[in-house]
Structures are given as C-alpha cells and as structure tokens.
Structure 1
C-alpha cells in the first residue's frame, strides 16, 4: 500500500539516515527533532517504518527499543532479514548493528525468519 509522505516521516527518516550505523531510541529521536512532533506520532511512524521494511527494531538489555535504518535488506517484501547481532555500549549508550550475519543451525523442521541478539560491553571509543 502506498503511504503518504508527511513532514514527520521525512524528518524522522532523515535523522535515522544521519545516525550512521547507530540505532536510536524514541527519546534520542525526540531530542534530535527540531519540530514539535508528539510522542505518539513518532511511535506510529517508527512502527510503520518497521512494517514497511525501512528500519528494524532492537530491544536493548536496558528494556528500551532502538530503531536502525535497514541498509542490506532486499527491496521486495518478505526479504527483510536481520540475522545479525547488535552491540550496546554500557558507557556511552550507543547501539549499533554488527555487520557479520549469523547462521545458527536449527533442529530439522525449524526455519528462522530473523535473529535478534544483543551484546553489551564497551565500544572502541570507550574501552
């Protein structure tokens, strides 16, 4: 379904694009937004981006949800794969996607759709 391009969507997408390889929480996005986009709109846009395959959601060990722009996903619906781990720095709070894809052998008859894993520790800048 074709979605309307709104100012809110455009602003949020630009912030996600400029965040490089880092994932952002709702609070981080809200701080970076220059306009008065309400909390519910930000969540609605982020959830729609997830549904449309533009971003993926990472649940941190701190209980927060982080959102990262999809860089290596296929453009067709159904090719939205996130078989990689994420890293959260305990000092600076940065959450980033680790590039290596994970392949975990599963028992016969099981099929993985995606893998979501988080490693926490200290990033290059903080260690």
Structure 2
C-alpha cells in the first residue's frame, strides 16, 4: 500500500536504517533529532511492520524491539531468523541463523519469534 511520506516516517526510518542493532520504542524516541509524540512513533512502527519495512522482535520480558528488514536494504528475502538479547548491555541483534521448524499436520505458521538470551561477545 502506498502511504504518504512524512518527516516523522522519514526520521524513524533513517534511524532504523543506520542502527547497528534492533531498537526499542524508548531508544527510538531518545535518538530522534525531532520531537515526535510517543503514540505517533508507535503508529509509524506498526505501519512499517505491516508494510514489512521493519520486523518486530518481542523479547522474553515482553519488550518490543524493531529492526530494519533486509529486503528494505535490497538484500535477500527476509526469512525467520534468530535474535540474540544480551542481558548485560540489553542489545538485541539479528543472527544470520535461519530458523528451521516443521509444523504438525493441519497447522500453518504465520510468523515466528525466536530469541536467544545470554551474554554477547562484547560483554564477555
């Protein structure tokens, strides 16, 4: 669906494109160079998820993080993959490990949320 481009959408998208890791709503709000209403940021992020521009990662504590989809950067198609959350620095990053699973007969998987938790290589 074609959506109108706004300064808010552009600011959030540029922040996510330049981020080296997945960002929470709070981190996005703090890092934006323009003042944007919290609810507006949520709406923008949800639209980006609907349009498959970003993907949402839900950590084991329920906190949501957002990362740019590879296909938005003209790379290969995004497939379900693992994420890693460091309990020391609270960084969440996409891992290039594909998730392989088999659903039982009669089940269709619409999405997968696979997160590994521990200590990252920078905090060891």
Query: Residues 64 and 82 (structure 1 numbering): CA distance in 2 closer, same or farther, change over 3 Å?
Result: farther
Superposed CA deviations along residues 48-94 of structure 1, whole A, max 9, x for unmatched, are 00000100111112221000110047x9xxxx854111110001110
Count of aligned residue pairs for this structure pair? 121
SS at match of 2:41: helix
TM-score, normalising length from structure 1? Answer: 0.88
Residue 107 of structure 1, CA deviation: 1.6
1:17-36 to 2 correspondences below 5 Å: 17-20=17-20, 22-36=21-35
- Distance in 1, matches of 2:7 and 2:63, equals 25
Look up the match of 1:3.
3
- Distance in 1, matches of 2:84 and 2:32, equals 24
Query: Residues 115 and 81 (structure 1 numbering): CA distance in 2 closer, same or farther, change over 3 Å?
Result: farther
Query: Residues 72 and 15 (structure 1 numbering): CA distance in 2 closer, same or farther, change over 3 Å?
Result: same
Look up the match of 2:14.
14
- Distance in 1, matches of 2:27 and 2:95, equals 20
Q: Say yes or no: does 1:92 pair with 2:99.
A: no
5+ residue gaps, structure 2, are none
Question: Which among 102, 118, 124 is matched to residue 105 of structure 1?
Answer: 102
Contact 2:70–2:78, Cα closer than 8 Å, also in 1: no
For the aligned residues, what is the CA RMSD?
1.7
Look up the match of 2:114.
117
5+ residue gaps, structure 1, are none
Residue 113 of structure 1, CA deviation: 2.7
- Distance in 2, matches of 1:26 and 1:114, equals 21
Q: Say yes or no: does 1:58 pair with 2:57.
A: yes
- Distance in 2, matches of 1:109 and 1:64, equals 31
